[in-house]
Amino acid sequence: MTRHALRWIAAAALAPSFYAQPAATLADQYRETATKLIDASLIDQGGMEKLSYLCDRIGNRLSGSPGLEKAIAWAAAQMKADGLVNVATPPVKVPHWVRGNESAVILEPVARPLTMLGLGGSVATPKKGVTAEVVPVSSFEELDKKGREIVQGKIVLFNVPYEGYGRTVQYRASGPSRAALLGAVAVLVRSVTPISLQSPHTGALEYNPGAPRIPAAAVTIEDATLIQRLTDAGNTVKVHLEMEAQMLPDADSANVIGEIPGSEKPEEVVVIGGHIDSWDVGAGAQDDGSGIITTLEAAHLIVKLGLHPRRTLRVVFWTNEENGGAGGLAYREWVGDQVGNHVAAIEMDGGAEKPTGFGISGRGDSQTMLGKVRDIGKLLERIDAGSIQSGGGGADIAPLMKDGVPGLAVRTVGTHYFDWHHSRADTVDKIKPEDLRANIAAMAVMAFILADMPDTLRPAPAATK
């Protein structure tokens, strides 16, 4: 070996950046696996078949209803059929609200029926109903300005145009109690939706413990604006409202859990899922049948392709998200000290329109965490679902996130979700099969890599014995 060669070797050792191979990125490591998962997802038929069965044969699934319990039994059997193991249905006590018969009609200045849905958790009207003048308001500020002198003994109509769900839903949630504190005898709420074809949208209200409980119902955009026009024209609008709603004692229900056990670190868990309950109208196809079926079918394809993640991948169908959140809280209690071994949680509860990517939230080094997930997101660019942004989670994984578990959420274009949300129109025909398949692909890739990659978004301690 010449002196020149020795100097060359020494120089190479001192400058490894010029000669050493760069560490493989997650996208590099998992490109072949992601391709297999995406290919399988894009020709999948099982997801749509399962969603159709859930929605068409079982139907809506409000907490406490026979439909929900039938869905839970079906889901547990389906998880076993799809190759998941350790399938369990841990019991959960849930609220049991029953709608009963309900109706509303304008009596003056014209006689016309109103298309309505009682709000979840509402009390009933007296047996003969409530008849009163309607006072429309467009904001809480306008309500407070009118005050008790005008509101006392009236039905308040919150005729608030849709300005995004988070901004507008407050009138459904807290409007009844705000109006009751000023003496209102009932509340009507313009449905929280950007568009309506005489379709009312229900949803839960939250009674303030310090306010009288008064009956509350959603009306369509068309009917809310009709009442507004009649009032603006100088008319006294009188409405008769009848509701038989009642809250029964808490009912027995359950979460549904199934797993793909980890091959190397089974004590570490990535949990994915959505909520199995729905409102008592429609079929809960987008909200949230599409979420639970997407996660189940993603796991099924992982099993079908013979893939074995290092960590346990756990599919959870939470119960009672719509009117209580008992399932998410019960799951956190069920895992106990093992919550420290949850390294990530993905919730899908925004419908199955065309996916665009994921949102993520977590403690610690958020930029490093975001960078890792964005690396995985590169593998989803093929299906235009590679956008990874800050801000993830959901109602059912919120209890886990409070204990430091990184939370992710599927993001979609969200073009029409709130057109159908909580209404009779939330049926299977609103799901495009190609969109459902793309969501399955995105979920399968993200979930598998989070459960298999060398490190984690959140370092997990040793399992508690």
Q: Which tokens in the block code for residue 268?
A: 């570490």
Here the tokens at position 10 are 């020494």
Kindly give, in sequence order, each residue whose CB lies less than 8 Å from that of residue 210, ignoring residues fewer than 6 positions away. Answer: 181
Residue with tokens 């949208």: 201
* Cis preceding-peptide flag for 109 (omega within 30 of 0): yes
Return the DSSP state at 428: G
Of the candidates 82, 430, 79, 440, which has an alpha carbon nearest to the alpha carbon of residue 295? 440
- The DSSP bridge pattern shows strands 387-390 and 342-347 to be unpaired
Tokens in use for 203? Answer: 């949803």
Which of 296, 278, 299 is CA-nearest to residue 287? Answer: 278
DSSP-derived 3-state class of residue 350: coil
Q: Give the Cα separation of 328 and 400 in Å (integer).
A: 8
- 187's CB contacts (< 8 A; 6+ apart) are 155, 156, 157, 158, 175, 176, 179, 180, 214, 215, 216, 217
State the maximum Cα–Cα separation within the chain, in Å, rounded to a whole number. 107
Burial profile 25-39: b = 16 or more Cβ within 10 angstroms, e = fewer: ebbebbeebbebbbe
What dihedral do alpha carbons 78, 55, 324, 451 form, nearest 10°?
40
The residues that are catalytic are 321
CA distance 50 to 55: 9
Sheet with 355-361, side-by-side order of all strands: 85-88, 256-260, 311-318, 265-275, 342-347, 407-412, 355-361, 387-390
Please list the helix, strand and coil fractions of the chain in percent, rounded to the nearest 5, in that order: 40, 25, 35
Q: How far apart are CA 119 and CA 415, in angstroms?
A: 24
Q: What is the bridge-based pairing of β-strands 216-219 and 116-118?
A: antiparallel
